[in-house]
Amino acid sequence: MQFRDEAEIEVAGGRGGDGCVAFLREKYRPHGGPAGGDGGDGGDVILEADRNVGTLYRVAARRIFRARNGRPGMGKKRHGRRGEDVVVKVPVGTVVRAAPGGAVLADLREHGERFLAARGGRGGRGNAAFATPTCQAPRRAEAGRPGEHRRLFLELKLIAQVGLVGLPNAGKSTLLSRISYAEPKIAPYPFTTREPQLGVVRWHDYREMVVADLPGLIEGAHRGAGLGDRFLRHVERTRLIAHLVEALPQEGTPLENYLAVRKELAGYSRALAARPELVVVTKMDLAGAGEAAEEFRRRLEELRRRGDPLPGPPAPPENRGNVVAISAVTGYNIRDLLARLFAAVDALPDPQID
């Protein structure tokens, strides 16, 4: 199924059933009086977060969701049946807005969490409800009221504690496949990851952590270049960014590539650029990678000490110089990396979503 992380939908609650005008006519009950029942309420449209749904594709394809109307009232004071609700299953992490970029109406973060998207109309009262001592045979009833109708914009922001970012071919997919049971596509060319991939990482003390592998960022990603601008929103929920940098890149230097990605994060959101970060130097199995990683670490620390402005807000003091070198192919330093990730995630709160 195609991955889809945005959808604009139309929701409409059911119309309430009309009230009934009726009088009781039964043998041996000549003065039965008004007996029109009330109409049933219209059904509601409800959005429900479901962990078994991973994309907004089906929601976007259907687009219009209407609940059933309430049934009209009947004689003998019988009330009409309530209209059936429509429950729309959406992925956990779906943000509901009234318009693109508008105020958040709901943030469905937990499995089973619900949001009333469109309330059904109230059923009309039958003539039995209008009987009074001075009007004992009313011949009027209320019509059912229309249900709520509106357009909603759904935006999926994957829920993961750690987000892997970096240039294309930085080794994000290889690392995710090494530390979890996820099976992302791995190939020696850019943009093998074309949609976010989630993996669950388990630690020796039975703790778990969700890691998201995001498509590689290139220069201008926050303005729409490449694939990154579509998926940068998925980093917004992460507590920690794991910034992967190749020790021996084919183009540029590790520091230049690191600064390029930092620039894209800051261009998308200053709050995102200020998120705590662990710098991960990858592909340490290559000849000469050790010297290159040490040079990158030295130059990065020197840049921090000089006070040269890095793209985005300044990093917190505890994150400066926070660099770990690994090889996802051989497993070099993977346990140290996981220990750092779990320690950092445990110490950080969930970010707030605007």
List, for residues 117-154, the tens digit of each pLDDT value.
999 999 999 999 999 988 888 999 999 999 999 999 99
Do 106 and 175 lie in one domain? The reply is no
**Among 156, 172, 206, where does a domain finish?**
156
| Per-residue burial over 164-176, b = 16 or more CB atoms within 10 Å of its CB, e = otherwise | bbbbbbbbbbbbb
Do 171 and 235 lie in one domain? The reply is yes
Q: What DSSP assignment string belongs to 190-225?
A: TT---S-EEEEEE-TTS-EEEEEE-PPP-TTGGGT-
pLDDT of residue 312: 58
Confidence of residue 354 (pLDDT cuts 50, 70, 90): low
What does residue 142 show for φ and ψ, rounded to 5 degrees?
-90, 145
Give me 313's structure tokens: 């807000």
Give residue 20's Cα distance to chain centre.
Answer: 45
Mean pLDDT of the residues in the chain: 83
| Residue 28 within a domain | yes
CA 68/CA 123 separation, integer angstroms: 13
Do 192 and 325 lie in one domain? The reply is yes
* pLDDT for residue 196 is more than 90: no
Interval 40-67 mean pLDDT: 92
* pLDDT for residue 193 is more than 70: no
**Among 109, 141, 156, where does a domain finish?**
156
- CA nearest neighbour of 240 among 175, 165, 291: 165
Do 189 and 300 lie in one domain? The reply is yes
CATH number of the domain within which 61 lies: 2.70.210.12
| Residue 151 within a domain | yes
Q: Highest-confidence range of 57-61, 146-150, 204-208, by mean pLDDT?
A: 146-150
Interval 239-245 mean pLDDT: 90
pLDDT of residue 34: 92
Do 314 and 190 lie in one domain? The reply is yes
CA 179/CA 341 separation, integer angstroms: 12
281's CB contacts (< 8 A; 6+ apart) are 245, 246, 247, 254, 289, 293, 296, 297, 323, 324, 325, 326
Do 119 and 49 lie in one domain? The reply is yes
Interval 252-280 mean pLDDT: 84
Do 76 and 216 lie in one domain? The reply is no
CA 68/CA 160 separation, integer angstroms: 37
Q: How many domains does the chain have?
A: 2
pLDDT of residue 308: 60
Do 23 and 70 lie in one domain? The reply is yes
**Among 136, 156, 176, where does a domain finish?**
156
Do 313 and 270 lie in one domain? The reply is yes
Confidence of residue 273 (pLDDT cuts 50, 70, 90): confident
Do 31 and 131 lie in one domain? The reply is yes
Direct distance between the N- and C-terminal alpha carbons of the chain, in angstroms, rounded to an integer: 29
List, for residues 1-43, the tens digit of each pLDDT value.
566 778 999 999 999 999 999 998 887 777 778 999 999 999 9
Confidence of residue 94 (pLDDT cuts 50, 70, 90): very high
Do 304 and 271 lie in one domain? The reply is yes
State how far the alpha carbon of 325 is from the alpha carbons of 39, 148, 239, 317, in Å. 69, 56, 21, 20
| Residue 336 within a domain | yes
| Domain, as residue range, for 121 | 6-156
Confidence of residue 318 (pLDDT cuts 50, 70, 90): very low
Do 325 and 263 lie in one domain? The reply is yes
Pick the range with the lowest mean pLDDT from 13-17, 45-49, 53-57, 66-70.
Answer: 53-57
| Residue 339 within a domain | yes
